Amino acid sequence: MEFFLSQLQGFGGAFSALVTDPITYPYIVISVFLGIVFGALPGLTATLAVTILTGFFGNKIPLDYALIALLGAYVGAIYGGSYPSILLNIPGTAASAATAMDGHPLAKQGRGAEALGLTTTGSFVGTLIGTAALLVFVWALLLISQSIASPEKALLALFGILLSGTLMSEDLVVKGWIAGLAGLAMAMVGLDPLLSEPRYTFGWSYLMSGFQVVPVLMGAFAIPQIIEGLRQVDPGKVIALKGRILPNLAAVRRHMPTIARSGVIGTGVGALPGVGEDVAGWVSYGVGKSASHDGKNFGKGSIEGLLSSETANNACIGGALIPLLVLGIPGSPPAAALMGAFKLNNIIPGPTIDPSIILRVCAIMVLASLTMFIMGLFTARVFIQILRLPQTVFLPVVLILTTIGSFSVGGGINDLYLMLGVGALAYFMNLMRYPIAPLVIGVILGGLFDETFRRSLLLSDGDLSGFFTRPTAAVLLALNVALIAGQMPVVRRAFAKMRKR
């Protein structure tokens, strides 16, 4: 009890500091607005919103304000994806793919305004649930993570890369692992962290400092999106809204169990390293379908179905920040972009992070969700106008944004070459259905893996037993082995036989 009270007290202090600072408001309003716009425009994603804002705000303003801008955009973009899902049947972001299943049929039934109002409420409550989990569990995990040393960190980084590769693969799991390893390989470029030995620099001095995070993020997430989106697409017919968007309290109360369940699921899925909001939305939708008494109507315009996915994807944000802040492992692709912003400010998320940053993150999340809630309920019709904007008009603008964003972070033309190179690679990977998120997570965690793995070996004079004699390391090693073995046909066949018996 004392623990919770002290947590609340710390959070209260951070929240009051945030709301009494007048500079907070322009940042939060503009970033949430931009986030919703990015989410609402099909072809732009939440990851791209956070990535582009990292380029602009990452190291140009104090981290306290940069976090407001980035988290505001993150919360706004995940929510904003619901607009085209409901009104156009086109998910604005991958996170809102499940939302379209019930959101669009509801809009066709003339219940679009009701759907938007409840979606906004679900997203708001979902974000709060995720933030509450972040506030509570992050401290418990931080206490545990104090005992984590190099072997555990190395295994955890590897687990993050492998898990995101496994869960984010649309096609073969092996492709997700290849993407993760490609990211790891990219992180090896430059002077190595222990002996300053140059690796794969090919005599180019720019590569000595390794690949910069922001150009990699911009290249991986923006360039394929621009190439893919620059085509003539029928923008579709936006279904007109009838009635009021503001939901009535009785409806909210009636659906509160679904919202609460989806919030918990979203937070849990978000806490898995590298697994994003889209997976959270689908998992919650699937659980909702079997758990809800309205399950048979899922896909035909069920409010329960809509809330299952839409609450979970916003709750996932808080969950995704738990591994990021506690272990330095991003819980989702936008969290990977957020990690880029931390890196730009020389802050290393993990057990050594300043606790005041965590409290501030929680305070920003609450304020951002409140801003999103107010904007969603009272300015929804403005965002609906944005849906009519063709992507062939805004994607060229995104190209210019990414170019100047990449350039200004490093201040060099080489960063632009890197952005374009990574972009071309990511485009071809997309074409061959390799997931991109594991690549980026590999680039971000590669340095950590290399350093901690080699430090473990250095301290034990090459004795590998440290990876399985330490209890936490042994568990993590078992998880890594299980993850790999679980995809092997021989093991799968054996399990299938066992199940039959």
Partner 1 sequence: MDIEKLQAELDKDLEMLRARDFWGALALIGCAVFFLWRTSFIPFLGENRAGVSGAEWYNSAAIVPFGIWLAMLLLGLVLLRIAIKAGGAKRAFSSVGLGWNRQEAIRIGSIAVIMGMFIFALVPRVDFILASGLVITALIYGFHAGRLGRMLQAAGAVTLPGIYALSMHFPQAEWNKPHDDDWVVLAAWMLLSVWMLVHDRSRIARSTPWIALLTPLILVTAMAFGFRQNVPNRGGLLFSQIEYHYYVTLRPLWRD
Q: Is 144 in the site for partner 1 (CB under 8 A)?
A: no
- HSE, side-chain direction, 13 A CA sphere, residue 146: 5
- Residue 223 within binding range of partner 1, rule CB under 8 A: yes
What amino acid occupies position 315? A
**Cα within 13 Å of Cα(152), Cβ side:** 17
**Residues of this chain, 428-467, that bind partner 1 according to CB under 8 A:** 431-433, 449-450, 453-454, 457-458, 461-462
Task: Work out how close the CB of 21 gets to partner 1 at its nearest, in angstroms, rounded to a whole number.
Answer: 20
Query: 3-state secondary structure string, 300-327?
Result: CCCHHHHHHHHHHHHHHHHHHHHHHHHH
One-letter identity of residue 409: V
What's the min distance (Å) between Cβ of 178 and partner 1?
Answer: 5
Alpha carbons 145 and 245: distance in angstroms, whole number: 44
Residue 426's alpha-carbon distances to 131, 333, 377, 416, 467, in angstroms, are: 32, 14, 37, 15, 33
Three-state secondary structure string covering 379-434: CHHHHHHHCCCCHHHHHHHHHHHHHHHHHHHHCCHHHHHHHHHHHHHHHHHHHCCC
DSSP E strands: which ranges in 160-239? 190-191, 198-199
Choice between 38 and 139, CB closer to partner 1: 38
- Distance between CA atoms of 266 and 311, rounded to whole angstroms? 7
Binding flag, residue 30, partner 1 (CB under 8 A): no
403 binds partner 1 (CB under 8 A): yes
Find the shortest distance in angstroms from Cβ 466 to partner 1. Answer: 11
Which residue among 1, 400, 490, 498 contacts partner 1 (CB under 8 A)?
400
x/- track of binding to partner 1 for residues 181-210 (CB under 8 A): xx-xx--x---x-xx-x-xx----------
Q: Closer CB to partner 1, residue 258 or residue 391?
A: 391
The site for partner 1, by CB under 8 A, has a size of 58
- CB of 229: closest distance to partner 1 in angstroms? 9
Candidate list 5, 397, 490, 498; residue touching partner 1; CB under 8 A: 397
With CB under 8 A as the contact rule, the residue among 396, 465, 491, 492 that binds partner 1 is: 396
Residues that bind partner 1 (CB under 8 A): 56, 60-61, 171-172, 174-175, 177-178, 181-182, 184-185, 188, 192, 194-195, 197, 199-200, 223, 226-227, 230-232, 390, 392-393, 395-397, 399-401, 403-404, 407-408, 411, 413, 416-417, 419-420, 423-424, 431-433, 449-450, 453-454, 457-458, 461-462
